[in-house]
């Protein structure tokens, strides 16, 4: 009876996780994210999360032994304290942020049973790959037919589809997010290929579509993340597959490094090919809509080739200025921070001349770096807790990685690869904490699964 009940709980948990990632992928789809479809997916996700949350509260004794449980709980409390102290700058944003943070820590990160990780990775990985691949196919269709559309909803809030400013946005609300999501889909596909699953042609096709989008989005974060993912996954997979043959292992390492170098070498040729395609393609639909701020968007000549030559006068693409502004804000409340959701109103009142609210482009609501986000949002307390989580995880990994069974080695390696890539992405795109995005979801899903499997292997010896 207990076993049947456990299986039902695992099924419900898996269903919640599938609903959650579908909701997030829809939310970052520029065609769908302002429609009732997203509201429906949100209601389904919240309903399932309430059900799973009640079950986890009922079985809390089985969950508190996770190695990071206490530190993550203290981190959430730190978030709540900072939000409460700065309530005068806003309440609803921090309340929503706290709810999502709790869902990510206690519903995504904490697992009922390590035995179910493999099954859920297979299901969720396939759902993730399928949606991302379909979205990228649509992106290429928009590219080839020359579709371009943009509309302003408010200051700095521009709704765009298609090809803009030398980059393929497609149907993503931001090409950097699209590229990061595509990299994570590639890691899932490489793992499933290594597991000798059926329909290998489908996974190979998905790899091609994801890689092409990363190139044509001209996202440096996406390209560097892909290179890093190939190297880490190559080392992990070779270490597992050829653990008893040193020469083959070294060849595997060399192959992964060679593949990474090839990816870098192909950046310019692939983008040049896209430029030739653009030269032969006329816009079939290009519309500049009246925005809510009451201004017409000025029509601009779109770049015909992939590449952001105009933006590269600032190699950081404004990030250095944003990060400096974040440090200036942190200095006004160094211990507990200013609460992340209140970043903009706090800066407007306390530091009206700081860059994130006083520049020639837009008001920035995030700092494009997870560590600076935490520093500004939760101050020194938040950074200390984050450091403790990282050190604790690495120490537990290095102490016990040799105890991982052959059965779990490849799965653990894939999850560890995703953790590393997600952390790298978060250095240039706000994610992991505060931002409810597909990248954030995949990090917590992988982090929880990895720690659960590692602890299970340690307990079983």
More confident residue, 263 or 159: 263
Please give the structure tokens belonging to residue 450: 């990895």
Q: If pLDDT is split at 50, 70 and 90, which confidence band does 222 have?
A: very high
Q: Give 285-294 pLDDT, tens digit per residue.
A: 445 444 444 3
pLDDT tens track for 192-213: 988 867 788 899 999 999 999 9
Q: Which of 69, 108, 9, 37 is nearest to 392 (CA)?
A: 69
Q: CA-CA distance, 288 to 149, in Å (whole number)? A: 7
Split at pLDDT 50, 70, 90, the class of 277 is: low
Q: Which token pair is 40?
A: 């429906």
Can you tell me the mean pLDDT for 17-38? 91
Tell me how far apart the alpha carbons of residues 128 and 256 are, in angstroms, rounded to a whole number: 24
Q: Where are the domains of the chain?
A: 1-62, 65-110+319-360+364-461, 116-314
Q: What is the pLDDT of residue 275?
A: 64
Residue 77 pLDDT class (50, 70, 90 cuts): very high
Short-list 114, 137, 108, CA closest to 439: 108
Residue scoring higher pLDDT (160 or 2): 160
Which tokens is 46 given?
A: 């919240």
Tokens of 230: 């190939």
- Residue 231 contacts residue 257 (beta carbons within 8 Å): yes
Q: What are phi and psi of 33, to 5 degrees?
A: -65, -5
Q: 411: closest CA among 372, 382, 379, 451?
A: 451
The pTM assigned to this predicted structure is 0.90
By CB atoms closer than 10 A (0-12, 13-18, 19+), residue 36 is exposed
């Amino acid at each position: 009876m207990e076993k049947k009940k456990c299986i039902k709980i695992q099924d419900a948990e898996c269903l919640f996780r599938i609903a959650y990632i579908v909701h997030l992928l829809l939310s970052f789809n520029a065609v769908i994210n302002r429609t009732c479809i997203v509201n429906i997916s949100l209601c389904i996700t919240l309903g399932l999360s309430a059900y799973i949350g009640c079950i986890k509260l009922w079985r809390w004794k089985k969950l508190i032994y996770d190695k990071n449980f206490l530190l993550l709980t203290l981190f959430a409390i730190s978030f709540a304290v900072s939000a409460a102290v700065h309530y005068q700058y806003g309440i609803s944003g921090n309340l929503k942020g706290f709810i999502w943070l709790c869902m990510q820590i206690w519903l995504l990160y904490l697992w009922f049973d390590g035995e179910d990780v493999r099954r859920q990775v297979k299901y969720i990985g396939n759902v993730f790959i399928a949606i991302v691949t379909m979205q990228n196919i649509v992106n290429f269709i928009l590219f080839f037919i020359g579709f371009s559309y943009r509309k302003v909803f408010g200051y700095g809030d521009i709704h765009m589809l298609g090809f803009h400013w030398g980059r393929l946005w497609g149907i993503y609300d931001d090409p950097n997010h699209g590229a990061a999501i595509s990299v994570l889909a590639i890691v899932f596909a490489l793992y499933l290929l290594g597991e000798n699953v059926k329909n290998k042609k489908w996974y190979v096709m998905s790899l091609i579509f994801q890689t092409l989008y990363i190139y044509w989005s001209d996202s440096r974060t996406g390209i560097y993340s892909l290179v890093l993912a190939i190297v880490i996954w190559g080392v992990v997979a070779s270490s597992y597959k050829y653990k008893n043959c040193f020469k083959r292992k070294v060849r595997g390492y060399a192959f992964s490094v060679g593949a990474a170098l090839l990816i870098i070498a192909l950046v310019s040729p692939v983008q040049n090919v896209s430029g030739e395609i653009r030269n032969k393609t006329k816009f079939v639909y290009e519309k500049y809509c009246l925005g809510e701020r009451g201004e017409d968007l000025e029509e601009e000549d779109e770049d015909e080739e992939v590449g952001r030559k105009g933006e590269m006068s600032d190699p950081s693409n404004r990030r250095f200025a944003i990060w400096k502004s974040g440090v200036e804000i942190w200095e006004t409340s160094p211990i507990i921070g200013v609460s992340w959701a209140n970043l903009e109103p706090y800066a407007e009142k306390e530091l009206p001349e700081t860059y994130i609210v006083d520049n020639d482009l837009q008001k920035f609501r995030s700092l494009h770096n997870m560590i600076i986000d935490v520093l500004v949002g939760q101050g020194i307390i938040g950074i200390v807790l984050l450091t403790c989580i990282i050190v604790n995880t690495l120490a537990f990994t290095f102490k016990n990685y040799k105890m991982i069974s052959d059965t779990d080695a490849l799965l653990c390696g894939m999850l560890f690869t995703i953790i590393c890539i997600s952390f790298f992405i978060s250095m240039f795109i706000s994610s992991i904490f505060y931002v409810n995005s597909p990248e954030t979801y995949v990090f917590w899903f992988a982090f929880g699964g990895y720690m659960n499997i590692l602890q299970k292997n340690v307990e079983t010896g």
